[in-house]
Structure formats: C-alpha cells, structure tokens
Structure 1
C-alpha cells in the first residue's frame, strides 16, 4: 500500500473475474453485515501461474439495480462506500484480504453513517483475520 497516501489505485480494486467468482462461489469466503452494508471477504488465493504483485487488500462495491433504478443513485452509494474505504484502508494494512461491499437497502444514507459502518466492518474483518492467522 501507499505510505500515508490516501488513494485508491486500480491495483486495490477487485476486477479479476477469477477472484470474484471464487469470492462469491462459496467455500472459503465469509460474510458479515452492518446495515445497510454486507461485506463478503476471504484471504486471497495464491495462483501458481500469476506473477502479479497484488496489494494486501482488494475491494469492490456492488449496489443492486433492484434497490435503486436510477444509475445516479447507485453511483452515489458506490462513491460513498469507496470514499469511506479509501479514508480508512490503513485499518487493513498488512492484511491479505479480498472483499466485496454489497448494499442492502433502498434508501440513501449520509456519508457519515456509511463511513461508520464501513469502518465497523473493516475492524471486524481485521479481528477475524488476525484470529485465523494466529491459529
């Protein structure tokens, strides 16, 4: 990750179809909720064929069309979640994890509430991954 730089570069965004399918395919992934968000996460698998250097954490945001018909509202929610993650990504520094934030409600919320919920989820992910690595 970038030292002290609060950017969300492309390498930190989850865009690999293989990783997304593995994340939602079940098995190793776990999920937890802090309404109006759910996060699905798992440690990144190691691919023998991939020589890419991946950052310690990768994320994606999904806002289903069933909750917001207008793209403007979906984009606003995605922007709020990405911004909250970007500002607090140092919580997961050193934690190899891939995660997907999924929106669960049909209402818009203020950025402060979304930021609070994203931080809550990230802290819980850190606790769970720390506990699983120590075993």
Structure 2
C-alpha cells in the first residue's frame, strides 16, 4: 500500500483501460450491474497491471451528438472515480487486477453529485463482490 499512496489522488495512463483485447474481454464479461446512470461491467483481468484496477468510460454518441457533452460526462466520471478509488485499492491487497467499464446510460447530463454517488456505490458493490469473503 505504501507504493500506491502517492498516486491515490491521480489517475495515470496505467490505470486506464486502453488495450483493445482487454476491452473486448470486458464487454463479454459475466459480472455486470446497473447503478443509475451507469451500467458497470467488471472482470478480473487476464493481464496483470501495475495497479489494482483499470477503468474505462463509454458515453454513447447516439445519445449525445455533441462531443462537448460526451467529454464532460467522461470528465465528471473520471473525477468521481479518482476521488473514490482509494476504497477499491485499500481492499484489493495484492489480488488480481480488475478491469472496470462504466457505460453512461442516461439521456441527460446529470450533475456531479449524482454521478459521484453512483460511482461510490458501484465501487462498494465491486468491493463486496470481488474482495469480501462471504461468511
């Protein structure tokens, strides 16, 4: 955890889901759920990464024609994830790398507080599913 503490408040390239093959695997993953306004896909990665999780965001061009709105939603989502990823990293403790994809499913641009709340509850659900041992 000492290695990760300086980067807790950043979101670097190594934490992004950039590999096309990993992205394709993730789209066909078994575990997904909806935390409005997102559909969240999560999978244990087939390729170990530097960090406990890699994250990607998808905003439909069909729903948001203007790139300005799509980029704003991606920025807000990235910021919310960056602020709350420490919870996910804290519970990972040397497990495999997770690949996470947030797909924005609403037709309107929501305010940051609603996006942040959805990301936070999605992270909690991921922690419970992947890291907590059922008793």
Map 1:1-135 to 2 at 5 A: 2-4=4-6, 5-26=8-29, 29-46=30-47, 53-93=49-89, 94=92, 96-131=97-132
What secondary structure is seen at the aligned counterpart in 1 of 2:78?
helix
> TM-score normalized by structure 1?
0.86
Deviation of residue 21 (structure 1)? 1.0
**Aligned-pair distance for 1:53?**
4.4
Distance 2:66 2:26 in 1: 27
Q: How many residues align?
A: 127
List alignment gaps of at least 5 residues for structure 1.
47-51
CA-atom RMSD in angstroms: 1.9
- TM-fit CA distance, 1:54: 2.6
